[in-house]
Amino acid sequence: MEEKIKKELEEFKKFKEKYKFNQKEIVEIDEEKYCDGIALKNEEGKTIGESEKWINVGYKHKGPYAKVLSNLFPYKITFRGKELKSIESFFQGIKFKDKEMQNYLLEYSGLDSNRIKVATNYDWKETGILYWQGEEIDRFSTKYEDIIDELYICAIQNPLYRGVLTNCQKDIIHSIGEPEKEKTVFTRYEFEKQLNCLKDFLK
């Protein structure tokens, strides 16, 4: 690990240990969802990406921050010697047990990396085990949390991604995220905490 990344990772971990994250609640009233009293969809039924109180991250959401803060956005990242085309490349890649197939997937970014998961018949949900370059990682372990922290510290070495997080002045939410660890490699809570923590760390 490069000395710069190692140092920033250590600083981030210390910051995160003391970080107080209060997840914003999403409530449903009359079949409409709200966050902080603001509807998540406009009159046309399209998801709002930005309000005066929050950024609702989603690659297809309206609003510039909503799109570029998505893991699907094509930022180039170097992680443990591998060139990733997006953060999503990692999250889809770790679902591949076979190292060679994982390396092929890392060549894809965004929605493409998400869709190509049908190329493997390994189902991590059955075992709770994910893989990075052939190494087993328990989804529910601190080892998994550590590799995610390292991933995002590598991500903010990209000056564009770093700049977006630094300039973001509102709380970050992700209304479409899954809530349960058993069903996803990154829950709504994990995603929101990570990005809000990174945003405040960079400030």
- Asked if 73 and 86 touch (Cβ cutoff 8 Å), the reply is yes
pLDDT of 149 above 90: yes
Confidence (pLDDT) at 159? 97
Between CA 149 and CA 160 the distance in angstroms is 18
- Asked if 173 and 55 touch (Cβ cutoff 8 Å), the reply is yes
Question: pLDDT tens across 12-34, in order?
Answer: 999 999 999 999 999 999 989 99
Please name the amino acid found at residue 78. Answer: T
Between CA 5 and CA 145 the distance in angstroms is 17
Question: pLDDT tens across 54-67, in order?
Answer: 999 999 998 889 99
Q: Is pTM beyond 0.85 here?
A: yes
List Cβ neighbours of 81 (8 Å cut-off, separation of 6 or more).
none
Between CA 66 and CA 76 the distance in angstroms is 18
pLDDT band at 173 (very low <50, low <70, confident <90, very high): very high
50: burial class by Cβ within 10 Å (0-12, 13-18, 19+)? middle
How far lies 155's CA from each of 35, 90, 96, 110, in Å? 28, 11, 21, 14
**Domain spans, the chain:** 3-19+75-202
List Cβ neighbours of 94 (8 Å cut-off, separation of 6 or more).
102, 124, 130, 131, 132, 137, 185
List Cβ neighbours of 56 (8 Å cut-off, separation of 6 or more).
35, 40, 47, 48, 49, 50, 63, 66, 173, 174, 175
Strand partners, 131: 136
